[in-house]
Amino acid sequence: MRLLTATFTALMISAAAVSAQSASMLDRYFTALDMETVFEVLRDEGVTAGQDMSGPEGVSPSPAWTARLERIYEPEKAKQSFLEGMSSIDDLEASEEALAFFETDLGARIVQIEIEARKTLNEEGGEDAAARNVATIRKEDPALYLMYQEFIKVNDLVESNVAGALNSNLAFYRGMATSESYAEGLSESFMLNSVWEQEPEIRQEMEEWTINFSSVAYSGLTKAELQRYIDISKTPAGQRLNSVLFAGFDKMFEQQSYELGRATAEFMIGEDT
């Protein structure tokens, strides 16, 4: 599982989209990785973040704005975007070995502790507490700290999440630019420059978030169990599974960000329909 991991509902996937074998693999992905729960957690995160955008210089807080946010982050819509992104990766079957790992008792436990860790970090003071825990681990158990760093590196968590965040921010601007009131000021060059200016800050946030997340999520694993997770992540199957998940999440977040940008523009100029 990855940062954005997260009960089973049968997926109706057309034969035109994927082969029957791939459809079976997608079913297994959604079951083994408890994706239905992930989408619910991400829905809550998205709505909360969107509500934080409201204020004197942003969208006026209102039941209509909250309702719009709930539509943007609706789990079924998220699933469809995620599936579209996943389908862009060829040969899902190449991830079989890694997917089978998450169908074991240890893999299933990892899925759940990752979901719970994300919830914990979302709680008030959650990230600060995690950061203090990281400082303690780094001082008292440097070997474990290095294992967390290895896990982050093997799974390319910083780089992949930075790229995904930049693409999502660009999608937000493009969504805003659909409004005539903002289109003139949001040229493509302006949007690209603005997004790239955010890269250092986003990178720092991702570096901090990934180690904080790791310290919370994997504190319940023995070092031997964590090493098994690292080892499966290193395999070609683990790398392919990682690519599939990031493709799904990237597509989902870009679509949501675009819709959020569009909604933001509409509400700020009073066209909240």
Domain count, the chain: 1
222 by Cβ neighbours in 10 Å (0-12 / 13-18 / 19+) ranks as exposed
Which stretches of the chain score pLDDT less than 70? 1-23, 54-57, 271-273
**pLDDT value of residue 58:** 72
**pLDDT value of residue 272:** 59
Residue 144 half-sphere exposure, CB side, CA atoms within 13 Å?
21
Give pTM, 2 decimals.
0.87
**pLDDT value of residue 260:** 96
- Percentage helix, strand, coil for the chain under 3-state DSSP, each rounded to 5: 75, 0, 20
Classify residue 6: in a domain, yes or no: no
**pLDDT value of residue 56:** 61
**pLDDT value of residue 23:** 60
What are phi and psi for residue 54, nearest 5 degrees?
-80, 150
Print the domain residue range for 42: 20-268
**pLDDT value of residue 10:** 27
Classify residue 4: in a domain, yes or no: no
Q: Are the C-beta atoms of residues 152 and 211 closer than 8 Å to each other?
A: yes
Classify residue 127: in a domain, yes or no: yes
Classify residue 74: in a domain, yes or no: yes
**pLDDT value of residue 185:** 84
Q: Are the C-beta atoms of residues 151 and 229 closer than 8 Å to each other?
A: yes
**pLDDT value of residue 2:** 39
**pLDDT value of residue 9:** 25
Classify residue 173: in a domain, yes or no: yes
Cα 237–238–241 angle (5° rounding)? 85
